[in-house]
Amino acid sequence: MTLILLADDEPRIREVAQYALEKEGFSVECVGDGALALERVRKGGVDLVVLDVMMPTLDGLSVVRKLRADAATESLPVLFLSARGEELDRVLGLELGGDDYLVKPFSPRELVARVRALVRRSGRDAPASERVVTHKSLRIDLDRWEAFANGESVDLTRTELMLLVALLERPGLVLSRAQLVKRAYPYDNLITERTIDTHVRRVRAKLRPFGVDPISTVHGVGYKASDA
C-alpha cells in the first residue's frame, strides 16, 4: 500500500486530507510540523509527502531543501500545500524541488487526483501487503484498510482501524492508554492518552449495530480485546 506522509500544522486540513486519501486506498500518516516530517521520512517507508509550506519549527521549503540534498530522499515525490497562491510562490516551491503545488482551500478530489498522478509518475506504487486480522466475526483487511463485521462493511476511519487492530492482534492482553498510543499511532503526535477513550467509544458505537463489541474496559488500566 502506498504510504503518504501528510505534514500540516492545521488539524482540520490534516483531517480532511487524510480522510480523502484513505477513502481512495492510500495509507496516510500525519505530523504537525516540518521537523517531525523530516524525522519520519528518514525512518523510511514513505512513498510521497504532502507538505504544507508554512509550518512551525521547520517550514516546508526548508524540509524539501534537506530532502533533495540527501541521496536517500532526493527523488521522493513532494506535493506542496499553501494558502499563498501567487505565481512567485508556486515557482519558488517547484524550483526548490517540489513536484506539484496545490493552493488552499483545495478540493479533496483534486488532492487525490494530484497524489495519484505523482504516484504513477514516480512508479512508487507499493505492493499489496495481503495482511488480514480476524477476530470472531470481525475481519480487517490491512491492504485496503477495510473492516467487516459478520461480512458487512463497517465504516471505520484509519485511526479507528489502527486502534482496533492493536487490540485484536493481542486478544486477552490488557494495554494501557500509553501502550495503545505507542502501538497504534507511532508516528502521529496528535494522538494522546486522553484521546484514546474517545476513539474507543467511537469504535464501539460503530460496531454495536452489527452485534459486535470485542473491546473491554479494564478500569484504572486500559483496554483489551476478548479472547478469540
Per-residue pLDDT of 60-105, as tens digits, reads 889 999 998 998 898 899 999 987 755 556 666 677 778 888 888 8
CB of 188 closer than 8 Å to CB of 163: no
Q: What is residue 92's predicted lDDT score, i.e. its pLDDT? A: 66
Which of 54, 115, 121 lies closest to 85, judged by CA? 54
Q: What is residue 127's predicted lDDT score, i.e. its pLDDT? A: 42
- Across 150-154, 162-166, 182-186, 201-205, least confident range: 182-186
Q: What is residue 128's predicted lDDT score, i.e. its pLDDT? A: 43
CATH class as words, domain 132-225: mainly alpha
| Model pLDDT for residues 18-57, shown as the tens digit of each residue | 998 988 888 999 999 999 999 999 999 899 999 998 888 8
- Fold of domain 3-122: Rossmann fold (3.40.50)
Q: Per-domain residue ranges for the chain? A: 3-122, 132-225
Strands 222-225 and 215-218: antiparallel
Dist CA 127 CA 148 (whole Å): 22
Dist CA 171 CA 78 (whole Å): 39
pTM (two decimals): 0.55
**Residue 122 pLDDT grade (very low, low, confident, very high; cuts 50, 70, 90):** confident
| Model pLDDT for residues 135-155, shown as the tens digit of each residue | 989 999 877 778 999 989 999
**Residue 125 pLDDT grade (very low, low, confident, very high; cuts 50, 70, 90):** low
**Residue 124 pLDDT grade (very low, low, confident, very high; cuts 50, 70, 90):** low
